[in-house]
Structure 1
Amino acid sequence: MDGPYARELAVAISAIQHAVKISSRVIASKNKGIVEKDDHSPVTVADLAIQALLTATIHSAFPDDLFVGEESAEQLRASPTLLDAVWGLLSDLDIADSVARIPASKDKLCSMLDWAGTGQPSAGRYWIFDPIDGTKAFIRGENYAVNVCLMTGPGQTLSAVGIPLLAPDAVAPINNDTTSASGSIMFATRGHGTFIRPLDGPADTPARRLPRRTADDTTQLTAVTCVEGTDSAVPGLNVKIAARLGIAYPGNDLLAWVLRWAVLGLGAADATFWVYRKRTRYGKIWDHAGAMLLFEEAGGKITDVHGKVIDIFAGRAMSSNFGFVAALEGAHARVLSAVQDAVREEGLLELLV
């Protein structure tokens, strides 16, 4: 594993491997420690323990780097029982002979969670974490992902995504319940391509480079979208967009956004589109940063519904952009046009402002 960020990638891979040990243990347990956040989305003991593990591991290796993550210590400070459960998951983790680290105490656990949970995008080096993307699917024992991204000023530099239930040789269609006993790690660094390797094994385990794909106006596309996500998207619109493009819907059905980007990078899909039902709804940086690089390095182009380049530095909420349109670069204009035409046909012109 060569390249200018080989050490960062090795540390990220080790952290992801230990994160999956935590998530696998929680999956096997009857009590997943589920609590509800202010936005009514679920969070489990695994989400909290994994973010603390990722932060502690990266901080140990790169002490000057900063963090942005989905979770904070708010729930732990309000519930000693939940704090004990998260601490127990971390304390039982065997990190001998690895670069992985855990916080030194419960107080440090809470502090490290807040480093990321209150962190903001900045101009220097910082890491973005989504400890479990697809928490609802995770609770059901379906596909989920662990997302790690390194930002270094100009943008997404490194992406490492753990996919515990997706085999490295998985083929379309890939759905929430398309699971395997063997998992994968996908990774990319800017300008060096996208790779996939088995989840287990040392950092230098051989990885397969995924092809950089091309398309034109006549290419038959395969989509990846989310059937159950209509609470945030315009109801029925994705079906109409697919019909305009002459492609099957949903093609691949995945709840987690990180997984959608990974499936695009893998080559099991060529396009995705998502129009939020409200103009004030935005993506979250941990659902997209890093994972988008997996597709970009495989030949993808990603914009918002207006055709604007995605602004990774807008904040924790990606408020400079509205929705997502992604496709192989040569087909992107066709997909964007289909999305915008479908929005107009629905009379939702306010979404294009």
Structure 2
Amino acid sequence: MSFAKEQQAAIEACLRAAKLCERVRSAIPKAIEKQDQSPVTLADFGSQALICQYIRSAFPDDPIVAEESPKELMKPEHAENLKQVVQYVKEENSDVDEKKIIEWIGYGDGHVTDRFWTLDPIDGTKGFIRQDQYAVALALIVGGDVKVGVLACPAYGEEGGLLFYAVRGQGSYTQPIRSFETTIPTRIYITSNTDSDKFRFTESVEGAHGDQSKQKMIAQRIGISAEPLRMDSQVKYGAVANGDAVLYLRLPNPGRGDYRENIWDHAAGTIIVEEAGGKVSDMDGKALNFRDNEKMLHNRGVIVSNGIIHEQVLEALKN
């Protein structure tokens, strides 16, 4: 299959969501704290509503496994927040009211099947709130394999951000978000970048998302001496695919031994790096499992590289 229709729908949905997110972010949004104490903003809900509605309209039989639930917005204390979400979404889709917003967000309550979409409407919410890096991440998974991936990164690269997208077997591409309609796609090819300022690794801003001391040690063992590029979200996959870093490390935090990664935090980025010529695995060298569950229960950590240094990293981890 060419997945041309799926790619077009995913790109259009993510571009619309990115526009909404930037409008919300310009107002410096206040975060809502979820039950797990992680933050969520009006943009998370608006982005998920737009994307889920768009994908459901194009592919009504495809389930969507997304991060957010409409339950938070349905609480009486968030009535004003719900009204604000409606107003933001109306700027992209005028045919909406509070009932439809709840319905559209709820489309993301799907389950992992042989063919499904997985969505993080704002990956890196803390970065979004800080006016820093974040991504809108959408991927189509068929038979456990990511077939289509889109990352909209409004704060990355040139002004207005970059859109990364890939289809399995067809390469990875990038275009400016702001001038998407008037620019030609650029195909990305990862090279063995040894420039002193680019021969570096990237990791999460949040220390709890990994083992930063171990990550630095592993990087040093394979010859990386530069300070890490710390960013929120799957933008780090974009950095590796785009040649701005040669390695992304996300090793398990010693204090969170039972933690397992969510599929929506890695699926879109994985195909973009792989189709650019890079490699993605867990710290044991196994492929990331997007087949069985919304959490990658059988994977420990995530290693993303330009492909050339991947075996060196795995060997350094063994030792």
- Provide the TM-score with structure 1 as the length reference: 0.82
Q: What does 1:2-13 correspond to in 2, within 5 Å? A: 4-13=2-11
Secondary structure (helix, strand or coil) at the match of 1:329 reads coil
Cα distance between partner residues in 2 of 1:280 and 1:38: 19
Q: Of 15, 18, 26, which aligns to 1:17? A: 15
Cα distance between partner residues in 2 of 1:94 and 1:133: 21
Change (3 A) 1:61 1:291: same
Cα distance between partner residues in 2 of 1:244 and 1:214: 17
Cα distance between partner residues in 2 of 1:285 and 1:103: 31
**Alpha-carbon shift at residue 6 of structure 1 (Å):** 2.1
In the alignment, what sits opposite 1:122?
A: 113
**How much identity, in percent, do the aligned residues show?**
29
Q: Would you say 1:29 and 2:21 are equivalent positions?
A: no
Contact 1:158 1:290 in 2 (8 A): yes
Aligned residues: 312
Amino acid at match of 1:119: G
> How large is the Cα RMSD of the aligned pairs?
2.2
Secondary structure (helix, strand or coil) at the match of 2:309 reads helix
Contact 1:103 1:109 in 2 (8 A): no
**Alpha-carbon shift at residue 23 of structure 1 (Å):** 1.1
**Alpha-carbon shift at residue 291 of structure 1 (Å):** 1.2
Deviations 1:268-312 (A, max 9, x none): 122122221233111111110121111111122221122222111
Secondary structure (helix, strand or coil) at the match of 1:130 reads strand
Deviates more, 1:181-190 or 1:6-15: 6-15
Q: Would you say 1:155 and 2:145 are equivalent positions?
A: yes
Q: Would you say 1:273 and 2:249 are equivalent positions?
A: yes
Secondary structure (helix, strand or coil) at the match of 1:46 reads helix
Q: Would you say 1:308 and 2:299 are equivalent positions?
A: no
- Structure 2: segments with no counterpart, 5+ residues: none
Change (3 A) 1:202 1:181: closer
Contact 2:11 2:150 in 1 (8 A): yes
Change (3 A) 1:61 1:151: same
- Provide the TM-score with structure 2 as the length reference: 0.90
Contact 1:56 1:103 in 2 (8 A): no
Amino acid at match of 1:138: F
**Alpha-carbon shift at residue 233 of structure 1 (Å):** 2.1
Q: Of 326, 329, 335, which aligns to 2:304? A: 326
Secondary structure (helix, strand or coil) at the match of 1:192 reads coil
Deviations 1:81-112 (A, max 9, x none): 22112112112x145xxxxxx77432232122
In the alignment, what sits opposite 2:128?
A: 138
**Alpha-carbon shift at residue 75 of structure 1 (Å):** 0.8
**Alpha-carbon shift at residue 327 of structure 1 (Å):** 2.0
Secondary structure (helix, strand or coil) at the match of 1:85 reads helix
Contact 1:210 1:298 in 2 (8 A): yes
Deviations 1:116-145 (A, max 9, x none): 1x3222112x21111111111111111211
Contact 2:53 2:107 in 1 (8 A): no
- Structure 1: segments with no counterpart, 5+ residues: 96-101, 168-179, 342-353
Change (3 A) 1:65 1:203: farther
In the alignment, what sits opposite 2:232?
A: 255
Cα distance between partner residues in 2 of 1:159 and 1:240: 31
Amino acid at match of 2:296: M
**Alpha-carbon shift at residue 214 of structure 1 (Å):** 5.8
Contact 1:15 1:53 in 2 (8 A): yes
In the alignment, what sits opposite 1:240?
A: 217
Contact 1:214 1:299 in 2 (8 A): no
Contact 2:66 2:119 in 1 (8 A): yes
Amino acid at match of 1:106: E
Change (3 A) 1:313 1:33: same
Cα distance between partner residues in 2 of 1:229 and 1:84: 31
Amino acid at match of 1:133: D
Cα distance between partner residues in 1 of 2:92 and 2:103: 22
Secondary structure (helix, strand or coil) at the match of 1:29 reads coil
Deviations 1:133-183 (A, max 9, x none): 11111111112111111122241001111111223xxxxxxxxxxxx4322
Deviations 1:35-64 (A, max 9, x none): 111221110000001000000011112222
In the alignment, what sits opposite 1:89?
A: 88
Amino acid at match of 1:268: D
Cα distance between partner residues in 2 of 1:273 and 1:340: 15
